[in-house]
Amino acid sequence: MPEHRARQHHRDRVASTFAEEITAMLEGELTDPRIAPCHVTEVILAPGGKSCRVLIAVVGGEKEEASTLEGLMAARAYIRTEIRDRMAVRHVPEITFAIDRSEKLTARMDEIFGRINKRRARDERRTSSSPASETREADDK
């Protein structure tokens, strides 16, 4: 059975508000030294509204990601309380945090595609050049 548009719109608005509030907390209110510089990339709210998953992009390596995740999981109760006070709602979903590595994967894929395109262009130049120009290129190297 398809879900009503109004219900989906409400869930999207709530997820957007959660992302804004959690981002504000990450920027200045959470003082845990384990939390590295990071930002919220997406909030996925369950259809029933009982739980949500917050995807975080962390600046740094795997060590910073692990410590940030640990610090955020320790601060979950504080974050839920602050969201309840700021949004003036009775129920705040159970929050879980996860590391979003999509930006790093996208950058790596772009790097690999760039290398492939460079190799193709180099191979095309080699096949289209004349034998005389190939000997000149070999002498230049």
DSSP structure class, residue 93: P
Q: Which of 3, 21, 33, 13 is nearest to 95 (CA)?
A: 21
pLDDT tens track, the chain, 141 positions:
566 888 888 888 888 888 999 999 888 888 888 888 888 999 999 888 899 999 999 888 889 889 999 999 999 999 999 999 988 888 889 999 999 887 777 888 888 999 999 998 888 888 887 555 555 555 555
Structure confidence at residue 138 (pLDDT): 55
Cα torsion 80, 83, 84, 90: sign? negative
**Half-sphere CA count of 58, side-chain side, radius 13 A:** 20
pTM of the model: 0.71
Q: Which of 33, 9, 22, 17 is nearest to 98 (CA)?
A: 22
